[in-house]
A = this chain, B = another copy of it.
Amino acid sequence: MELFYAYDADGRTCRLDAEESGHCCRVLRHRSGNEIHVIDGLGTMYRCRLTDDSPKGAEAEVLETFPGWGGHPYRLTVACCPTKNNDRFEWFVEKATEIGVDRIVPTIGERSERKVYKTDRADRIALSATKQSLKARIPEIAVPVTVKEFIRQADSDCLKLIAYCFEGDTKRISIQEALQDYDGNDITVLIGPEGDFSPEEARLALEYGYIPVHLGASRLRTETAAVLAATAVYLRYE
């Protein structure tokens, strides 16, 4: 099943941008009258009939609407510090999208080696992983913020978890335990940079109600920890 992304979908008509139109009408040779499946990136999939097969700007008429198509029963934000090697962070974006994530926030830590992150490639990866894994909602790739800004922004109602090895007597529970103890479905997980959080960042997280969790005995790379955290949430709501 091939999905196309409509930048504009009003419930009756879906409009594809030049890239999607070219893929639909030039590469895959769809012609007016053909049935295609289109997502709006916001959670709805449309069964459509192609009415304009222009490879510059195709249009399709909606035949059937599937709201919440390919969705998941939780709302997950993963805030993760971009890795030195961009491929590793982008791999996390692809895998988290396949598994099921709602929002990815590139956070810059005081000890991050990468202080600047451009989200355009991640946006494209999230879109293609969304289509490939048959989902209708594209996870939001947020504008990068510092770890401290992100902690201060986080809304108070959700379950907030931070994967960090706190010194001293700060007790940590496993991420599964934290998830089992929580009966809501709105979760934020904060994953540190390769150089880990600074003690100030960690203290601030505790102040703002973050629960310190561990991800088990293995020593994981940043991007592996982020995908493992997303997987733990996904499995929790299965």
Residues of A within 8 A of B (CB): 70, 72, 91, 95, 98-100, 132-135, 174, 176, 216-221, 224, 227-228, 231-232, 234-235, 238
Contact = CB atoms under 8 A, between A and B. Distances in A.
A227 B96 CA distance: 12
A98 B224 contact: yes
Given A231-B228, A238-B174, A238-B176, A99 B219 contact: no
Contacts of A218: 70, 72, 98-100, 133, 135, 234
A216 B232 contact: no
17 contacts: A98-B218, A98-B219, A98-B224, A99-B218, A99-B220, A100-B217, A100-B218, A133-B219, A135-B218, A176-B235, A176-B238, A216-B235, A218-B234, A228-B234, A231-B231, A231-B232, A232-B235
B99 A228 contact: yes
A178 to B, nearest CB: 12
Contact of A95 (B99, B174, B224): B224
